[in-house]
Amino acid sequence: MNYITQYMSTKIKDLQFPSLNYDFGALEPHIDALTMEIHYTKHHQAYFNNLLASVKGTDLENMVLEDVLKNINNYPVALRNNGGGHFNHSLFWTIMSPSGGGKPCGDLANAIDQSFGSFEEFKELFNNAAKTRFGSGWAWLGVNSDNKLFVSSTPNQDNPLMDVTENNGTPVLGLDVWEHAYYLNYQNRRPDYVQAFWNVVNWEEVEKRYLEFLVD
């Protein structure tokens, strides 16, 4: 079952920790192997474990994570942090690939041009969102309920699904700008990490998500 379908229908208690479809070193030199290993096996695993622990034995374990995130204001903060953390990282691993980079094509490329003027203008907006997010958080490309693309950033493990965010919609591309995502290789140079990210973006996966989340 792919990631998207899994989150649309799976109860939190039945969620599986996702597999990584490439080696830890596969994204080098853009993202180094040790960062990937620690990020995936320690940080993401901890969000996942804490998510399951926080709902265990409660009615919440029978909820679908996406529904919880969309109404996160009604739920305990542990779900916002760990449910968001699990969702965000699960997306993050899939929208990167050793054979990534380049430009989007097809319907997504057209939508980006229509929404932002050009791919370059979109990248500049996204880069700014990633670079100016103060402290820990994420930059996003999302699609809203009017099928419009938007660029945003969120603090901590929030994401555009959450009712607490300003730009509400479904994320189709996300960049983790927590220091744990880049500090070993880039230290304080977040802009260099943001720039390098474009070399590993899996545009096929981003477009798949974009098409799947368009509202009829």
Q: Which of residues 41-70 bind Mn ion (CB under 5 A)?
A: 43
Q: Can you state the angle between helices 119-132 and 190-197, rounded to 10 degrees? A: 150
Residue whose C-alpha is closest to residue 127's, from 117, 141, 114, 115: 141
Minimum distance between the CB of residue 147 and Mn ion, rounded to whole angstroms?
A: 29
Minimum distance between the CB of residue 162 and Mn ion, rounded to whole angstroms?
A: 17
Minimum distance between the CB of residue 87 and Mn ion, rounded to whole angstroms?
A: 12
CA distance 216 to 63: 25
Listed ranges 50-58, 118-126, 156-164, 176-184: which one lies at the site for Mn ion (CB under 5 A): 176-184
What count of residues does the chain have? 216
Tokens 């098409």 found at: 211
Minimum distance between the CB of residue 36 and Mn ion, rounded to whole angstroms?
A: 11
Closer residue to Mn ion, CB minimum distance, 176 or 207: 176
Listed ranges 134-142, 150-158, 168-176, 183-191: which one lies at the site for Mn ion (CB under 5 A): 168-176
Distance set, CA 22 to CA 25, 37, 166, 169, 197 (Å)? 8, 11, 34, 28, 16
CB count within 10 Å of CB 101 equals: 15
Closer residue to Mn ion, CB minimum distance, 61 or 179: 179
Minimum distance between the CB of residue 121 and Mn ion, rounded to whole angstroms?
A: 27
Closer residue to Mn ion, CB minimum distance, 89 or 209: 89
Q: Determine which residue in the list 176, 185, 186, 190 makes contact with Mn ion, applying CB under 5 A.
A: 176
Structure tokens at 31: 């993202």
Q: Which residues bind Mn ion (CB under 5 A)?
A: 43, 176, 178
